[in-house]
Amino acid sequence: MSLKSFSRHEIINLLSSKGGEVLNLMKDANSKREHPHITFSKNVFLPLTELCRNDCGYCTFKKTPDTVSKDILMYPTKVLLSLKKAEKYGCKEALFTFGERPEEINPLKEVLNKLGFANMVEYLYHICQETLNKTSLLPHSNPGTISYADLKMLKEVNASMGLMLESSSQRLMSTIAHEKSPGKNPWLRLQTIENAGKLKIPFTTGIIVGIGETLQERAESLLELRRIQDKYGHIQEIIIQNFHSKPGIAMEKHKEPSILEMIKTVCVARLIFPDISIQLPPNLNPETAQIFLMCGLDDWGGVSPLTPDFVNPEAPWPEIEELKKLTTEAGYLLKERLAVYPRYMHPEYLSEQILEKIADLKFYNLK
């Protein structure tokens, strides 16, 4: 596919579109979609721990040892029970996530050590291997900013991995959004995404719209991801996520991005990335999700029939039938996919045991 290169100036102009320009932008973006299908992955969302060293201004996921409601770690027995239940619901993806470097918080470190693990990455590796050994699900992990060596190890037991860039703006590190979050340093996040590229790990990333970034910074974030994709080609989908105000967060009174802002950002993402999927969380846009299908959106992301979105617990997932209805009503077909896209289903990107698991699933994905 021949890709058009966009300058920062061009992207800012597109993000600043008004009136009829927006309609033309939508038409142009929607013309770039490669097929009439809108995909989703049926998953089970398992937060192995909600402890985190970061304290983002928009987060309700993070817990402290004093506020965690149950165990500070999801133990293997509970994980396996959840995975077995997910199999009965037809889930094929096991989404594992946890806070940034939670082992830096002493109570969790003690628990991990008692179980024989030095850190959460070692524990995650064990859980992913157990998932492959004892269930039919494919692991997809979001472990935060981790080292090249850790990524290399986790590649062996994951069908794909992910890390939101959120923003490439260093300025946001001194704002309410990220001032208490060392792990949101864009250099660290870009380094992790690039290292995943060097290791050829199928990867999900994206940006958050409306956390205080300027249009220029939003454009630069998208361009950084385009630069990495041009170099490594491992990014399989870009998420465009809108900031969602919630009671009790530091940014509770911060204005959410308008529907028009989101429309323009999704359109621009499709134009910049015609070669990969553009995703938007349907549970964060329950009343407006359909409009993004007219902007070139072609993936709803992971949707669970079993577990909530622990990052946005106030926003329930749509039922699969509801998702199908709003998709077909807009003139598109809803198709289930795996956690890894077909073009990455070969030994260059996946370990032998992941490829064997995919073969066992006998799952016919989109070509």
Which superfamily does 8-354 belong to? Aldolase class I (3.20.20.70)
pLDDT, position 255: 95
Give the model confidence (pLDDT) of 203-225 as tens digits: 999 999 999 999 999 999 999 99
Contacts of 235 (CB under 8 A, 6+ apart): 193, 197, 203, 204, 205, 225, 228, 229, 273, 276
Give the model confidence (pLDDT) of 243-256 as tens digits: 988 888 999 999 99
- Domain extents in the chain: 8-354
Which amino acid is residue 15, in one-letter code?
L
Distance (Å, whole) CA 283 – CA 315? 6
pLDDT, position 195: 98
Which amino acid is residue 137, in one-letter code?
L
User: Position of tokens 């192995």?
Assistant: 48
What average pLDDT does the segment 135-164 reach?
Answer: 97
Distance (Å, whole) CA 55 – CA 59? 7
pLDDT, position 367: 38
Going by pLDDT thresholds of 50, 70 and 90, the confidence category of residue 61 is confident
User: Is the separation of the CB atoms in 121 and 143 below 8 Å?
Assistant: yes
pLDDT, position 362: 77
Token reading at 361 = 């699933």
Residue 128 annotated as binding site: no
What average pLDDT does the segment 110-119 reach?
Answer: 95
H or E element that contains 336: strand 333-337
Going by pLDDT thresholds of 50, 70 and 90, the confidence category of residue 69 is low
> How high is the mean pLDDT of the chain?
93
User: Is the separation of the CB atoms in 297 and 271 below 8 Å?
Assistant: no
| Of the candidates 272, 270, 205, 265, the residue with the CA atom closest to the CA atom of residue 234 | 205
Going by pLDDT thresholds of 50, 70 and 90, the confidence category of residue 328 is very high
Helix, strand or coil, per DSSP, at residue 239? strand
